[in-house]
Amino acid sequence: MRTLAVPLAVVALAALLPVHSQDRKESAPASPLYKVEIDIHDTGDADARTDRRYTMLLDDSRKGVFRVGNKVPVASGSFQPGVGSAGAVVNTQYTYLDIGVNIECTVHEVGGKVSLRGGLDLSTVVKHDGAPGAANLPNPTIGQAKLEIEATIELGRPTVVAAIDDPVTARKLQVEATVTKAN
């Protein structure tokens, strides 16, 4: 039986040569680019730093994700090795929670206005008031406000898209969005 052996150099050379299966057409025009600004105003606390601004650039109909904050450890399980071992240590397992601001959004221009869709998740560790036993709590208490937003707004015009009166933290938040063309 006879086999046809192709020299390795020919195979390697073939991999370097361009393949012309079709003529290239002009590339499609670039989709519009938008600057999305999300301003969160805390109107309930005059002493605190009251405004937060988050800005991202998005292509038309593409999702943008913005996450800022901390990871807070929460004990999720523990075990102690076999009974009878002297000085056995308890092993604790932790899960880490994302605390802070998480924003996901898409924009799409329709007839001179912009359709803004997205989610906003604001979370914080709630401080305890010093009640008896509060210092002995094993895990933090998390306050969270979660919004799903679908709004049609004018290009370049700041628009309030949500207002929150948070019963857990007594904060009053106002969420304002501004979308402008970047190109």
Rg (CA), the chain: 27
pLDDT digits (tens, 9 = 90+) for 13-55: 344 444 444 444 555 567 789 999 999 988 776 665 568 999 9
Q: Which residue has the tokens 């914080």?
A: 124
Cα 175–Cα 37–Cα 118 angle in degrees, nearest 5 = 65
Q: Report if pTM > 0.85.
A: no
Task: Output the DSSP codes for 79-126.
Answer: E---TT-TTPPPEEEEEEEEEEEEEEEEEEEETTEEEEEEEEEEEEEE
pLDDT digits (tens, 9 = 90+) for 118-176: 999 988 887 766 555 544 556 788 888 899 999 999 999 999 999 988 776 677 889 99
Q: What is the pLDDT of residue 171?
A: 77
What are 47's two structure tokens? Answer: 């002493």
Helix (H/G/I), strand (E/B), else coil: 144? strand
Task: Output the DSSP codes for 129-167.
Answer: ---TTGGG-SS-EEEEEEEEEEEEEETT--EEEEEEE-T
Could you tell me the sign of the dihedral formed by the alpha carbons of 45, 46, 48, 52, in that order? Answer: positive
Residue type, 24: R
Domain ranges of the chain: 30-76+91-181
Q: Which H or E run contains 8? A: helix 8-16
Q: Which H or E run contains 12? A: helix 8-16
